[in-house]
Structure 1
Amino acid sequence: MSTAEAMTMSTAVPMQMEVGIERLRLRNPFRISGYTFTEVPVAVVTVESERGRGRGEAAGVYYLKDTPEGIVETLERHRSIIESGITRQQLLELLPPGGARNALDCALWDLEAKHVGVPVWRLAGVDIVAPCVTTFTLSADGPPAVVSAAEALPHAKALKLKLDGDLQMDKERVRAVRRLRPDAWIGVDANQGYSLEKLKAIMPSFVEAGVKLLEQPLPRGREADLEGFKSPIPLAADESVQGLADVRGLRGRFQVVNIKLDKCGGLTEALAMAREARRLGMQVMVGNMVGTSLAMAPAFVVAQLCDYVDLDGPVFLAEDRHPSITYQDGSVYCASNVWGDVK
């Protein structure tokens, strides 16, 4: 079977589905604007048929109240339809973007790879997979703690600082890390913490510190405030872009689209988003909501199409799955045996 044929497979077969919740312990509390996390619960979906067995993991979207409990409830509500046989295209029509669709979509990709004997990345139309430089995220703690965290990542080539909307503290965080790592690529994530006025006020300090990317400066719903704003640093939409339908509306406001599978509902839509963003002249980023290697592996496929990669989720966990993705010399790599293999 050719890759083109595999990508357009539409045959559905009966399957059995297992759904459960796992609670992932974090090594340390993780802070962003408005939230502190000590653990990350995720939903894990397994589907099995005569074709083989496929798995998917999703954390949901916390700020939309899309929880693992809700993911399980949604999938259980549609169990009879799913188990009677469903394709990825049919899934797009059955469920809205979000964690439930993500977990099941990724499980279906994994199952399909085993059925056709082609790794997922080939099914996705990716010619080759290679290590990608990934950002390593620093929690929005006080500057001394942020510097300590950065010191623990000497091999990181790219660092992303979480900010909390306190302009003075945010300036100090960025300056402190830049002093420590004059060689590193630095991006910042405001997590919706600024108004346009605050953004204009702090921008010169970001430029001075050599910040290369600024994620989601304004609250979701305030995208129009960026009309006509000429940012000297590329702005990436995160909360402002949930799925494919949102991409077109970002033009003229953001320069980068941050794709997360939990937001858009899986690898199928993530690939479509990446290609649409490219068509519209925007850059592409892939991120994560934190999770194990099982959640990062499908996003690693998307990473092959991206300008920016933020797939450091497992480094925050007390324990990851095995086999797992690997981090070396500031890059992330996911072998096919982690997920999406033909076996």
Structure 2
Amino acid sequence: MRQVNLGMIGGGTVGSGVYHALRLNGELLAARIGVPIRVRKVAVKAFDEPRPYSIPRSLMTLDWRQVVHDPTVDIVTELVGGTTIARTMVLAALELGKPVITANKALLSAHGEELFAAARKHQTNLYYEASVCGGIPIIKSLREGFVGNRITHLYGIVNGTCNYILTRMKLEGADFEAVLKDAQAQGYAEAEPSLDVDGYDAQHKIGILASLAHGFWVKPGKIYVEGIRGITRLDMQYAGQLGYTIKLLGIIKAGPDETGGQAPRIQVSVYPTLVPNTHVLASVNHVFNAVFVRGDIVGDTLFYGRGAGKDATASAVLSDLAD
């Protein structure tokens, strides 16, 4: 049986999670797809960097080029984050005709159009299930499961940090700053939390989903973004009295074309939203994500699960490996 060799760029939290998942379920995956997958090399920042799962020293290298340019490596995963060196890494692999799997939503948001064009030019593929909502298979669902639908509405709780903060503000009657400080202490929020609490992480993700749902690239600068810093304890109390819960939603809505043409106008935005307590999204709490999708044929559907973390993201990477 032919073997597929995997080259990994990134051996930190997510990268070591992928390595561990392949060790744990590699035989199961091989039995299901008919091809065994072997990790050939792993590029890391430092051999002794903290990682939740160990990676054999013999597999590690400090030079990502040794992964990409290794002629025995068939598939490359980019799990380092950022938009500068990650772009260079991904383009280098695509130019060699190697399929790339990425979990990097910021990279896709900033350079997705260029990267997908490079994949087409070199007759290869760029996979990105792990870039949005961790282990929730929303990318594959939009691309394949709903291929016969026009997506009229999509509402997503796509940032676990914001959802955790808003959940605790509601349940405990607490202030934003106090909950944020505690979330940072527990590792649910970064020391510099702006990317999450100001809505930009959600912007990256909802832009990717909008591009996939409607077939054209949505530029990040065109997406209206409002974070949760301005939400107060009093806002939460008033919302509750009116029968609502405040959630940070990524929103994609198709409306009529006011110019008289055939194409619908698409609204793509991120902002705190009053969600009726009777709606299922109102009960999605703490670090969990959920995406509500309405198609013109399928009707209403809901996807729920862990949107981040080493294991949820590793599950999505394995899904792309199977493809």
TM beyond 0.5: no
TM-score, length basis structure 2: 0.30
TM-score, length basis structure 1: 0.28
